[in-house]
Structure 1
Amino acid sequence: MTQKIKLCLIDDEEQTLEKLRDLIAMIPGFHVEFATTDPMLGLDFMLAGKADILVTDIVMPHLGGLELINQLSELKIPVIICSGFTKYALEGFMVDAVHFVEKPIKFPMLSKGLKKASFFLQRNPNIKEFLKKKYVIFGEKGSHKRQMIMLEKIEYVEQQGKNSYIFTTDLKKYSVTNNFQTTLNKINLPTLIRIHQSFAVNVLQLKEIMPKECVLASGKILPISRIFKGELLDIMNDRLLT
């Protein structure tokens, strides 16, 4: 049996969600994996890669549909907008929505939108796996905003107390409340190597290694502890030219 395409539905009206569930149940090849009236829960669900297509309203409290779509833009996830406000149709297509379904929702338009979204998935079959290897998702505690950080732009990570700070080559700094090892595990970047109790560096950003510190391509100097120096030298010596 062919695996069904997983959908995430977001709308602040439970009645609309029920209508969508009923209509989608009549369309072969699709399955409602998650439905919520809370756009933040839907955003986190999509960022976790648990659904293939997003169907969302535009006008919602706390986090509007257009902002939500913008936060997912790097993932290239096909989005279908369902709204009673046709004035948002053009704005939806400007944020790369694949289809607009006007409320009250009618079966032919919804079916057409899902087929268009499925064609998009067929053209980009490995997009989710590619993105897992290229990005990490960052979200500030208590904030509705989520940001995509390209793994290759990570310069180094520093632990200060209960917070981990991620520094990038474009001079940005991100803070997360995690212990150091948890942060490194979640980033999951093979070239990110621990060099100190409180520092891990992307070895691709290294310029020079000295007895007790290293110099990055940006000119920043980070400490190296004796405990972690051995692994770093093993990696570098493997590529050493003499």
Structure 2
Amino acid sequence: MDQVRPRELDYLSFTFCGYRQEGGAMTEVVDLRYPAGDLLVVSGLPGSGKTTLIRRAVAPLDAAGVPVRCVDSQDSRLRLERRLPGRVPYGLYRPVARLLHFAALRRALRAGGSVVVHDSGRVGLVRRWLARGVRRRGGALHLLLLVVEPAVALEGQMRRGRRVPRRVFARHRRAMGRLVAGAAAGRLPRGVDSVAVLDREAADTVRIITFG
């Protein structure tokens, strides 16, 4: 099997070898396919590789040729950085960057079509707001959890040149721990139709993320 249709299963479990368990057989993961018009939230620790996965694997068009919108908070931050003089600390303009990100999310929801969202997963309220928005237009919300060791995420932060404060990172770790533990127990977060859990090796086996 070279395609996974997450809506067919409530929970997709990926091992550290990049394989998934289905009916007692291990199946290599190649494609992740979601229904057209649905919304996929990619969550993980800061530095875990969410942006990398989205940029590498998400197909630009769905099966009907409709553009897939990707909303990444890093894009909002970079657009704002280009307008600021010199090296202004991120903490000073973080609230504005967040407002720009939420504005982009609202535009994507109103535009219709398939959407992929970069989200840390720390604030469940954001996820529930997205779920309500996509349900109002007849779609569903899916969650992809990218799970890496904290040390790996910290290395990712160093490579991108922006380190999350220790206290904030600890909150991210606790939130991700709750999401992963719930998924492992077969519990879907409120408003979520399916959950996929990938470690770094499993994420590397995903060739493409498509809709339709």
- Structure 1-normalised TM-score? 0.32
Larger RCO: Structure 1 or Structure 2 (Cα < 8 Å, ≥ 6 residues apart)?
Answer: 2
Larger of the two Rg values belongs to structure? 1
Return the structure number with greater helix share. Answer: 2
Return the structure number with greater strand share. Answer: 1
